[in-house]
Amino acid sequence: METQDYVNDIVEWVNDDSRREKIINRIVDYEIENDPTTFGDKVDGCDWEPGSDVSMPPAYIGMLKSATFINVVFDSNSSTVLALEDLDAGEQAVEELDGKSDRWSDEWIEEQLGGNKIDERLGNIELTSDEEDEILDIVEDSDCLSYWSQYIAPDLKHRPEIKKAVLVMLASPEDIHGNKGRVNILAYGPPGTGKSAVKNYLVSKFGAESIDGPRVSKADITYNKSSDQFGQLPNAHKGILVVEESDEMDNEPLGAALTSLGESGEIEIRDKTIPAEVQGVFLSNFRSVSAAENQWSPEAVNRFDFRIEFDRLSKEKKNETLDWHYEYFRKPKPSENEDLLLKYLKMCRSFDPQIDEIDDIKTYKKENLDDIENIRSGLSVMNIAWIIARLNLSDVKLKHYKQACSILV
C-alpha cells in the first residue's frame, strides 16, 4: 500500500474525533521516541502496548487492531502489542490533522461546502484567438439567447423555453452587495414530457446535485447526524440542485430547499447559519402554476424566476423527436458545438455588464408596472436583463430589459 493510502486511512479513522486525534499523536510520538523495535521485526517504528504505552481506552484497542495502518505484532487475552505499519505515514497524518480547522469553526464549515461547479467545469478550457473571433462574430450577428440555447441539452427537442432558462442559469452571477444573482427554474407538466433530460444534462455536464423529491428528508439535504455529513444544499453551495418530482416533497425538506433558493441563500444546522447559495431546478408533475401555488403557496412559487410548462408534444413534433432518437439509438449522440458553447460560457462568465440605459429602463418599468407581480419579481426581471446583456457581451440596455420581461412576465 502506498504511504498516502495509510495517511488517508489514519485521517479517516480520526474523522474529526479529538480523542482519536490525541491517540494518534501519542502513538506517533511513542514510535519516534522508542525506535528501534523491542518485540521483533517489523516494517518501521517500534512495538507498543496500547493500554500502557499510550494510555488507550480498551474500546479503541479493538478498533485499531482492524485498521489497515496498524500491524498486530502480538495479541492475547492479557496483552496486545501493536505497531504503526508505516511511521512516515503516521507522521504525515499527524501533520495533516494538525493543519485542519476546528470542527464547526467558520473555516471548517467553508471547507465542507460545495464550490462553483460551473466555474470548475470551465476552468481548464482555453480559447484560441480564432475561436474567440468566431464567438465574437456570432455574438455580433445573433440574438445570443436564441442562438446558444439551441445547443443546451441536445437530447431535448422542441423545448426552447427551458433551454433558454438553463442558458441564463449557466451564465448567472453569484450574489453580491445584497443582490441575488442566482436563478431558479420550476418546470411542470405530466410525466414523460422530457423534464428528466434537463436533470441529466446539468448533472453530467455541470456537476449539479440531484435528488428525488419523494425520497428525500430534511436531514438528506441539510445535515445527517447519523453519518455526520452535510447534505445536498451545502454541497450545492454556489452550484445547482435538481429536484425530480418536487411536487411530492415533504414540507420540511421543501421548506429548507426554498429557503436556500431565496435571497438569503442560507440554512440552519446545529444552531449555525450555513451558506447554501443554491440555484434550483425543480421538476414537477404539476399541471399548472396555479396547482403549484395551491399545494405550496404563491410565495413559494414566487421564488422561481422561470415557470416553464412541459406540455404534450404535437403529433408532428413527437414524430420528429422519435426519428432523432431512433437515428442515434444505442449510438453516441451528436453534441453540436458543445466545445464552442463551453468556451462561449467561459467568456460570458468573465464579463460584468454595466447598466447603460437605466433611465429608459426605469421609464419602461413604470409604464408596465402592472405586469410585475411584486418586488421580488421586479428584481428578477432586472437580474435576467443583466444576464441577457452578459450573454451578448454587452452593457445592459433597454432591449435586454424588454427581452427579460417577454420571457418572464
pLDDT digits (tens, 9 = 90+) for 343-371: 999 999 999 999 999 999 999 999 999 99
Q: Which three cell numbers stand for residue 274?
A: 450555513
Least confident window among 6-15, 234-243, 283-292: 6-15
pLDDT at residue 35 in the model: 64
Enter the C-alpha cell of residue 13: 479513522
Q: Quick check: is 106 in a domain?
A: no
CATH of the domain at 11: 1.10.10
User: Is residue 9 domain-resident?
Assistant: yes
The structural domain count of the chain equals 2
Residues 297, 205 share a domain: yes
Q: Of 78, 74, 84, 15, which is closest to residue 54 (Cα–Cα)?
A: 84
Separation between Cα atoms, residue 246 and residue 407, nearest integer Å: 23
Q: Is the pLDDT of residue 88 over 80?
A: yes
- Residue 60 sits in the same domain as residue 204: no
Q: Give pLDDT, residue 170.
A: 98
pLDDT at 65 over 60: yes
Q: What is the pLDDT of residue 106?
A: 86
Is residue 402 classed exposed, middle or buried when 0-12, 13-18 and 19+ CB atoms within 10 A define those classes?
A: middle
Q: What is the mean pLDDT of residues 210-234?
A: 91
Residues 6+ apart with CB under 8 A from 345: 118, 122, 170, 171
Tell me if 136 is assigned to some domain.
no
The reply to whether 92 and 206 lie within a common domain is no
Place of cell 512495538: 47
Q: What is the pLDDT of residues 279-301, one digit of tens each?
A: 999 999 999 999 999 999 999 99
Higher pLDDT: 36 or 321? It is 321
Q: How would residue 10 be classed by pLDDT, with cut points 50, 70 and 90?
A: very high
Assess whether 89 and 163 both reside in one domain. no
Quickly state the pLDDT bin for 36 (edges 50, 70, 90).
Answer: low
Whether the per-residue pLDDT at 59 is higher than 90: the answer is no
Cell 442562438 belongs to which residue?
A: 147
Of 313, 333, 353, the position where a domain reaches its end is: 333
| Nearest Cα residue to 43 out of 9, 4, 3, 71 | 71
Q: 78 lies in a domain?
A: yes
- The answer to whether residues 214 and 301 belong to one domain is yes
List pLDDT tens digits, range 367-388. 999 999 999 999 999 999 999 9
Q: Are residues 93 and 230 in the same domain?
A: no
Please check whether residues 87 and 197 belong to one and the same domain.
Answer: no
Q: What's the confidence (pLDDT) of residue 201?
A: 96
- Residue 107 resides in a domain: no
Structure confidence at residue 194 as a pLDDT band (50, 70, 90): very high
Alpha-carbon distances, residue 324 vs 156, 166, 258, 260, 319 (angstroms): 10, 22, 37, 38, 9
Task: Please tell me the total number of residues recorded for the chain in this structure.
Answer: 409
Neighbours of 214 (CB within 10 A): 12
Read off the pLDDT of each residue in 258-286 and give the average, rounded to a whole number.
Answer: 94
- The answer to whether position 199 is within a domain reads yes
pLDDT tops 60 at residue 37: no
My answer on whether 201 and 88 are in the same domain is no
What is the structure's pLDDT at 41? Answer: 57
Q: Does 335 score more than 90 pLDDT?
A: no
Q: What does each C-alpha distance from 21 to 10, 27, 97 come to in angstroms?
A: 9, 10, 8
Residue 360 lies in a domain: no
Helix axes 375-391 and 160-170, enclosed angle (nearest 10): 80
Q: Which of 282, 299, 333 is at the close of a domain?
A: 333
Mean pLDDT of the chain, nearest integer: 92
Confidence of residue 17 (pLDDT cuts 50, 70, 90): confident
Is residue 320 domain-shared with residue 209, that is, in the same domain?
yes
pLDDT computed for residue 216 by the predictor: 93
Report pLDDT for 45: 65
CB 198 within 8 A of CB 187: yes
Cα–Cα nearest to 170, from 150, 187, 155, 149: 149
Mean predicted confidence (pLDDT) in 118-133: 94
166 shares a domain with 91: no
Residue that terminates a domain, selected from 36, 66, 100? 100
> Does 73 share its domain with 163?
no
Let me know whether 189 and 282 are in one domain.
yes
pLDDT beyond 60 at 175 = yes
Q: In the predicted model, is pLDDT for residue 44 greater than 80? A: no
Whether residue 100 has pLDDT greater than 90: no
Tell me which residue range forms the domain holding 29. 3-100
What percentage of residues in the chain have a pLDDT greater than 70?
A: 97
Nearest to 254 by CA among 303, 198, 310: 303
Percent composition of the chain: helix, strand, coil (DSSP 3-state, to 5): 50, 10, 35
For residue 326, give the CATH number of its domain: 3.40.50.300
The verdict on residue 276 lying in a domain is: yes
